[in-house]
Amino acid sequence: MTKIKETSTNFANKKALADECPEIYASNTIGGQWALAICCYLINGKLRFGELRKKLNNITERMLTLQLRRLEEDRIITRTVYAEVPPRVEYELTEIGYKLKPIILEFEKWGKEHKEIMKNADSVSKL
């Protein structure tokens, strides 16, 4: 995951859009396949790193770590470390993170509907 140079035009454009439009700001915060997927799994409650890794079987450990750190920096999730041997670390949505639940459920509904439309369009075009 590379960062955009803060001196680039792309960075300035993204920042200007995010400053002007709360929808873009929200999209930038939870955008990307991994961040949203992590939030989807955490909606049902706390999960340990290994549990998240199993649910997101195509993600590398490094990418999962980076995504979890970013979500923690954005205060979407919290990370709790328990002083046990071996150490136990749990991730959970914060109060603002849990407010994503109705949005994620709407995304799910929209995704299913759109997938069906595309499936039907493909079958019609093959005739």
Phi and psi at 78, nearest 5°, equal: -120, 150
pLDDT at 36 over 90: yes
If one looks up domain 31-125 in CATH, what number appears?
Answer: 1.10.10.10
Q: How is the chain split into domains, by residue range?
A: 31-125
Average pLDDT of the chain?
89
Q: For residues 24 and 65, what is the distance between their CA atoms, to the nearest angstrom?
A: 24
Alpha helices in the chain (DSSP H): 9-20, 22-30, 33-42, 49-55, 61-73, 95-98, 101-125
List Cα–Cα distances, 71 to 15, 29, 35, 75, 99, in angstroms. Answer: 18, 8, 7, 6, 14
The more confidently predicted of residues 9 and 96 is 96
pLDDT of residue 100: 94
Residues 73-98 have a mean pLDDT of 94
